[in-house]
Amino acid sequence: MSRAKWRRRVFAGSLLAIWLGAVPGGTAHADATAYSNHCAKCHARAVVVARSLKGDADTEKASRLDALLQSHHAEDVADRAKIVNYLIGLSKR
């Protein structure tokens, strides 16, 4: 499957999740897009990633995830924040 086709599928799934209310917040589209652009090629199922986050509180999970992403294909601070927000939101479901 080509990368472009893969991204379209992930993006369509993200939009469906947003439409169904699986992703809270007004920036959910941008957050899902950041995940799609940086993570989805290798980590297709965002819910699986979200549920595997370690930590007792959302702030602890966010801190650990942000530290990982700094050296794992998401060097941009704004994109990292969107990805963290997206995955923390999914982990609450």
Cα(79)–Cα(74) distance, integer angstroms: 7
List, for residues 5-28, the tens digit of each pLDDT value: 777 777 666 655 655 555 555 567
Cα(69)–Cα(14) distance, integer angstroms: 20
Structural domain total, the chain = 1
DSSP assignment letter at 54: -
* Domain encompassing residue 46: 3-91
Res 2: pLDDT: 78
pTM comes to 0.69
Give the pLDDT mean for 66-90. 89
